[in-house]
Amino acid sequence: MRSELDIDTAIERAAAGRFRAVITDRWNIGTAPNGGYLAMILGRAMARELADAGREHGDPLSLTTHFLSVARPGPAEVAVAIVRSGRGHSTLEARLIQRDEAQEEREVMRALGLFGDLGRATGPTDVKLAPPDVPPLEACLSGRPAGAAPRISERLDMHLAPGDASWLTGERSDDATLRGWVRLADGREPDALSLIFFADAFPPPAFNLRAVPLGWVPTLELTVHVRARPAPGRLRARFTTRVVSQGYLEEDGVLWDAEDRVVAMSRQLARAGRG
Amino acid sequence: MRSELDIDTAIERAAAGRFRAVITDRWNIGTAPNGGYLAMILGRAMARELADAGREHGDPLSLTTHFLSVARPGPAEVAVAIVRSGRGHSTLEARLIQRDEAQEEREVMRALGLFGDLGRATGPTDVKLAPPDVPPLEACLSGRPAGAAPRISERLDMHLAPGDASWLTGERSDDATLRGWVRLADGREPDALSLIFFADAFPPPAFNLRAVPLGWVPTLELTVHVRARPAPGRLRARFTTRVVSQGYLEEDGVLWDAEDRVVAMSRQLARAGRG
C-alpha cells in the first residue's frame, strides 16, 4: 500500500529540469498546505534530478527553503537545476511554481539543497545531544486537538509530552519547548527525505509564550540538516523557540530515530503576532 | 578612515544584476578566504541590488550560503537576482563567480537571502537567551594564536573565555563550546551586514573534541539570521557543536551586542576529519 505522504509528494518528469506535482489539501493547516510537506516535494524533485543524472548521493544533507507566497492545493511545477555536482556532494536549486487564474507563473518557493550519501559517509562521530525524556505514549497528550483540528493532524500519529503544549489547556507555560513522539498515521516508516516533512510537522512551541498570539505563524525560511538515515519506528522530537524579537522567531528542532540517533536538525525563521 | 572589512567587501556595479568584487587574502585561513567574509560580499551585493531597485529593507534577515568550490583571492563577480519583492520583505539569489586560467566561469558560492527592515519591524518580543558569562577582556585568552596565526586573526580583536579553546593549550576539554568577545581590530563598529562575517569568524569549537582532528573544517552551508541591528561596541558570542556524525558537524552561533541583545543566530554544516 502506497503511503499518503508518498502519493502527495509524488513528482512526474515534464521536461528537462521540470517536474509536475499535485499539492493536496490533506496536509493543510487552515487553508494553507504545511511548509514541510511542500519542502519535501522540492527535496524529492532534487533527489530525482540527481538520480536521473546518474548521481548516487540522494540524501538531503542540508535543504533551505524560502517561502515566497502562499501555496494553494492543486497542480504545481517544480523547476530543478544542478548547481554543482561532485564526487560525493551535489548542490541543487529548486523552484515551486503555480499558475494563477490567467495561467501566469507564480514562484511559490525557492530552495537550495546539498545532497550526499549518508550510507557511505565516513569520519569522526561524537554526539552530545541525548534524546529528550518523553513519557510513554499512554502518558502523552494526543497531538490531535479537539474541535477544529488541522487536516495535517489526521495524517500524524503524534504524542506530546504532557505539559509541553500548555496553550492547548488554556494556560501558557512560558517555556517554548515541545517534546514528543511522531510517525505517520498510515504506518509509513521514516526515511531521510521524509525528515524534511517531520522538521515542520509539530505545532509552534512559541504558543507557550504569553507574548505570542495564537494564530498563523508563517514560515519565512526553513533549513533542515539530515544527519543520518532513520531506523524504522517512531521519531522522537524536541522543538524550541528562544528568541521572539519584533515579531520574528526562530524554531529549532532535533529529531531522533527509534535507535536514539540524531537524524535531523532544523531551524526556521517565522513570523508571529498577526493574531 | 574606511574600514578594512568595508574595503575588502566592496562591490561595484558592472551591469544589470552583476557586480565586480575583489577577494583579498587578508581574511584567509591558510590559503582559503574565510567563508563569512565571502558570504558578506554576497549579502552586500544583494542589499545594493535591493537599494538600487528602490527597496528600503536592506537588513539580511536570513542568508543561506552554499560553498561550492574553494574561492581564491583575486577578482570575482557577483550575479544577483531579485526572486520576489514585497512591501516589507524581499528574497534574492546571489552567485559568486571566479574565472579560471582559461577565463572559464566557475561558480564558487550560491546564496539565498531574505531581506527586511529591522528598524521598523513590529511584533511581540520575548527573549529567553541570556548572554554567556564571559570574563572581562584581561582575563580572556587572545584569539590570536602564537606561531602560524591565520591572516584573519590580524583583523580581529578577539578574546576567548579561558578554558574554552582547550586545544590551544594542547588539551581537549571534550566540551565543544566557545565563548568570547569580538570586534574588528580597526575599530569599525558592527552593523547588520557585518554579522554575516562575525557568524563565521571564530575558530571551530569542535576542536575541543578528541574525535575531531585539528585541521581544515570547510563550511558546506552557512545560514545566518540577523535578529537585530547591533549597537556600537564589542559583540559577545557563543558557538557550539553538539553533533559530529560521520564527519559532518553543525556549528550553532549566537551573537549579542554591547546592550546584551541577541543580534544574530547562525548555523553551519561543516566537514571535519580530513586531518
Let me know: does B192 contact B60? Beta carbons within 8 Å.
yes
Which of A226, A272, A252, A228 has the alpha carbon at shortest distance from A113?
Answer: A226
C-alpha cell at A253: 528542532
Cα–Cα distance for residue pair B259/A89, rounded to 1 Å: 41
pLDDT in tens, A15-28: 999 999 999 999 99
Q: What is the mean pLDDT of residues B253-259?
A: 98
Interface ipTM > 0.95:
yes
B 84-113 residues with CB < 8 A to A: 84, 89, 91, 93, 107, 110, 112
B 1-60 residues with CB < 8 A to A: none
Cα–Cα distance for residue pair A18/A177, rounded to 1 Å: 39
A61 touching B (Cβ < 8 Å): yes
B 124-163 residues with CB < 8 A to A: 124-129
Cα–Cα distance for residue pair A2/A112, rounded to 1 Å: 28
Size of interface A-B (CB pairs under 8 A): 170
> Is A246's CB within 8 Å of B122's CB?
yes
Confidence at residue B274, expressed as pLDDT on a 0 to 100 scale: 61
pLDDT in tens, A227-236: 999 999 999 9
Residue A102: exposure state from Cβ atoms within 10 A (0-12, 13-18, ≥19): exposed
* pLDDT of A34 over the 90 cut: yes
Confidence at residue A145, expressed as pLDDT on a 0 to 100 scale: 66
Among the partner residues A93, A246, A262, nearest to B121 by beta-carbon distance? A246
pLDDT in tens, A69-85: 999 999 999 999 999 99
Confidence at residue A275, expressed as pLDDT on a 0 to 100 scale: 43
* pLDDT of A38 over the 90 cut: yes
Closest CA–CA distance from residue A228 to any residue of chain B (Å): 8
* pLDDT of B145 over the 50 cut: yes
* pLDDT of B30 over the 70 cut: yes
Q: What is the mean pLDDT of residues B201-217?
A: 95
Q: What is the DSSP string of A122-188?
A: -S--EE--PPP-PPPGGGSEESS-SSS--GGGGGEEEEEPTTTSGGGGT---S--EEEEEEEETT-P
Which of B22, B88, B36, B78 has the alpha carbon at shortest distance from B58?
Answer: B88
Which of A9, A61, A2, A64 has the alpha carbon at shortest distance from A34?
Answer: A9
pLDDT in tens, B222-237: 999 999 999 999 999 9
Closest CA–CA distance from residue B18 to any residue of chain A (Å): 18
> Is A221's CB within 8 Å of B64's CB?
yes
> Is A128's CB within 8 Å of B243's CB?
yes
Bridge-based pairing of strands A59-67 and A105-116 is antiparallel
Q: Chain B residue with minimal CA distance to A94?
A: B112
> Is A62's CB within 8 Å of B221's CB?
yes
Closest CA–CA distance from residue A204 to any residue of chain B (Å): 15
Confidence at residue B80, expressed as pLDDT on a 0 to 100 scale: 98
Among the partner residues A110, A129, A212, nearest to B243 by beta-carbon distance? A129
Task: Report the residue of A64, A69, A219, A229 to disrupt the B interface, i.e. the one with the largest count of B CBs within 10 Å.
Answer: A64
Cα–Cα distance for residue pair B204/B2, rounded to 1 Å: 29
Among the partner residues B68, B176, B225, nearest to A250 by beta-carbon distance? B225
Q: What is the mean pLDDT of residues B229-253?
A: 98
Which of A144, A132, A138, A240 has the alpha carbon at shortest distance from A180?
Answer: A132
> Is A248's CB within 8 Å of B121's CB?
yes
